[in-house]
Amino acid sequence: MKDKVLTLLVEHNFPKLRALLSEMNPADLSVLLTEIPASTLTVVFRLLPKDLACETFVEMDADSQQHLITAFSDPELKEVLDKLFVDDTVDIIEEMPANVVRKILKNSSPEKRVIINEILNYPENSAGSLMTVEYVSLHKEMTVSEAFEKIRRDGVNKETIYTCYVTDGKRILLGIVTAKNLMLAKPEDLISDLMETNIISCKTSDNGEEVAHIIEKYGLIALPVVDNENRLVGIITFDDAMDVIKEETDDEFMKMAAIQPLDQNYFKTSVFSHSKKRIVWLMVLMLSATFTGLIITGFENALTALLVSFIPMLMDTGGNSGSQSSAIIIRGLATGEIKLSDFGRVVYKEFRIALIVGVILAVVNAARLWLLNVVVYHNPDGLVREMLVVGITLIATVVTAKVFGCCLPMLAKKLKLDPALIASPIVTTLVDTTTVLIYFAVAVNVFGF
């Protein structure tokens, strides 16, 4: 596809190119446009049919958008902006440098500018900052056919017409009517009889991610956003909710792996900013490993090859057991499946799981040692002592690891910190330290190594 476009560009075969591009959909086009040389971007973009051009513009990444906006003549930009939904315009503005923002605002209609500024004032990631104000509002005295007329009149540039909002003179949200209700009703039916009055809505100040999960949970096409007086101020549509959830998940993944979330996609992020995003936690964890080092030097006299050879295995098992628990809890907290009030239940459950897992591992490890020492090396001396030291440490480690692993994320959440970001690295450090400590304590004090 890309090559086709490039060849047509070289041949200056614009009619053919235009036809080709017009067949594509915005999502794919936006990707294609980032792949062609920036110099040709504006030329290609100008070939697109107006509507397609705008839909594509919305989907493009900030760099290309900025490139285009700067290249656009004011009338050109005006034309694009007039076609954009307010929420998309705001998303774009949030990514742009001041001079570009000025150019955008200068070319938006005065009314739109007012709304944009309103939305920009909502805290980042709040429902208010996600919403759009292009919704269909009806009055409860209307008949279905009157409603249809109104939709026909101003439906064209509404983000969705499938859920219509019934408001009174003061913009108070009274109910919702779906397009399905309308299409299945008789023309003379009254909106007040059709409307659903027990409404799921959110406040402008609500957390955007939680709102997105509500939309997902109830499978809504759009969710109304109201202010503290229950006046309808906007709606959030399911596709925007899907985007929020996808971004949230991406971030969670990164955080779980001790990476600070990326602002752009993998390839657009430079090697240096990638390094920056990763070095922070690596450094913290490396320095925190000083403790483990100190503990080991503390047990200098016990450092036989035998004991030392188990350190990696014990640390890995501890680390993995811990991250198993923290991952499952962090995810549960994110999706709302696990609540802070479940603390007791969770800890008790993880404790029992840890016991079972720990004992099994200890037994399997004993078997492994027997194989290695008796069958392979024919040297059973001190085998039982070995089995016991390592076995006891394994059980103790798995239990502490899993208890830390489930407590810390919930503690972080309780302290309004980000469980994924805070918990997982701390779990690693704690688990490593305790593992080594338990190990040598048991070996030296209990079994006199």
200-239 residues in contact with its own copies (CB under 8 A) are 200, 216-219, 221, 238-239
List the beta bridge partners of residue 237: 222
- Smallest distance, its own copies to C-beta of residue 125, A: 19
CA neighbours within 13 Å on the CB side: how many for 84? 28
List the beta bridge partners of residue 173: 167
- Smallest distance, its own copies to C-beta of residue 304, A: 8
* Distance between CA atoms of residues 171 and 239, nearest Å: 25
User: Is 282 among the residues that bind its own copies (CB under 8 A)?
Assistant: yes
Site for its own copies in 321-360 (CB under 8 A): 321, 323-324, 326-328, 330-332, 335, 337-338, 342, 345-346, 349, 352-353, 356-357, 360
Q: Which CB atom, from 115 or from 179, has the smaller least distance to its own copies?
A: 179
Cα 64 to chain centroid distance, Å, stands at 23
Site for its own copies in 35-54 (CB under 8 A): none
Q: Which CB atom, from 172 or from 360, has the smaller least distance to its own copies?
A: 360
* Distance between CA atoms of residues 435 and 138, nearest Å: 65
| DSSP code at position 25 | -
Question: What are the residues whose beta carbons fall under 8 Å from the beta carbon of 1, sequence distance 6 or more?
Answer: 32
**Residues 127 and 227: beta-carbon distance below 8 Å:** no
Beta strands 202-203 and 222-226 are: parallel
The only residue of 193, 275, 374, 379 in contact with its own copies, by rule CB under 8 A? 275
- Smallest distance, its own copies to C-beta of residue 113, A: 27
- Which one of the spans 100-108, 223-231, 298-306, 380-388 is the region binding its own copies (CB under 8 A)? 298-306
- Smallest distance, its own copies to C-beta of residue 354, A: 9
SS3 call for 341: helix
User: Is 305 among the residues that bind its own copies (CB under 8 A)?
Assistant: yes
Q: How many other CB atoms are there within 10 angstroms of residue 345's CB atom?
A: 11
The only residue of 56, 64, 107, 292 in contact with its own copies, by rule CB under 8 A? 292
- Which one of the spans 37-45, 67-75, 101-109, 265-273 is the region binding its own copies (CB under 8 A)? 265-273
User: Is 198 among the residues that bind its own copies (CB under 8 A)?
Assistant: yes
* Distance between CA atoms of residues 423 and 327, nearest Å: 10
- Smallest distance, its own copies to C-beta of residue 221, A: 7
Continuous segment of H or E residues that includes residue 94: helix 86-95
Site for its own copies in 156-185 (CB under 8 A): 156, 161-162, 179-180, 183-184
